[in-house]
Amino acid sequence: MTTENFEEIISRGTPGPGDGGKTGSWRVLRPEIDLKVCIPAKTNKMACFTCWLYCPDCAVSKTIPPVIDYDYCKGCGICAEECPAGAITMVDEATPMKEEK
């Protein structure tokens, strides 16, 4: 039988941070999680993780508490929109920078 391997060059992306490079610098708004409101953080249970599920860049970890990888988070705001507890706020990138000053 022909030994040539077919279907070797295809278009397939692997979900996960970094498939498109370090995209954290694209961000204008930064999601910040209020751990007093976040369901897994508050209950200490492996529950909810809506932010992890919805993040198109897989930049949120499925951990207690969830951690956002700001090297890759583009600041799209989907996590803040979807969080059932309203625990995530989009903060202007300029604000924390001013505070740091």
Partner 1 sequence: MHIIDSGNVAAATGVKLSRAQVIAAYPITPQTPLTEKLSEFVESEELDAQYIPVESEHSAMAVCIAASTAGTRTFTATSANGLLYMNEQLHWAVGARLPIVMCVANRGIGAPWTVWNDQQDTIAQRDVGWIQIYANDHQQIIDSVIKAFRLAQTVSIPVMVCYDGYLLSHTYMPFDRPDQEKVDGFLPPFKAKNFLDPENPGNFNPVTLPDVRPGQDGTIKPGYIEIRHRLQMDLRASLEVYQEIDADYKKDFGRGGHPFVEEYKCDDADFVAVCIGSLSYHLRDVIDAMREDGIPIGVMGVQMYRPFPDEAIVQALGGKKHVIVFEKALSYGNQGALYADIKSALYNAADRPTIQNFILGLGGREIKTEQLLAVLREACANPGTAEDTPRWVGLKL
Contact residues for partner 1, defined by CB under 8 A: 1-2, 4, 6-21
Rounded-to-integer distance, Cα 88 and Cα 76, Å: 12
Q: How many other C-beta atoms can be found within 10 angstroms of the C-beta atom of residue 8?
A: 6
11 versus 44: smaller Cβ distance to partner 1: 11
Q: How far is the CB of 11 from partner 1 (least distance, A)?
A: 5
Q: How far is the CB of 16 from partner 1 (least distance, A)?
A: 6
Q: How far is the CB of 25 from partner 1 (least distance, A)?
A: 17
What does the DSSP 8-state code read for residue 26? Answer: G
Which single residue is written with the structure tokens 């924390």? 96
22 versus 92: smaller Cβ distance to partner 1: 22
Q: Are 58 and 14 in contact (CB under 8 A)?
A: no
Q: How far is the CB of 58 from partner 1 (least distance, A)?
A: 9
What string of DSSP letters covers 46-61?
S---HHHHH-TT--B-
Cis peptide before 15 (omega within 30 of 0): no
19 versus 93: smaller Cβ distance to partner 1: 19
13 versus 84: smaller Cβ distance to partner 1: 13
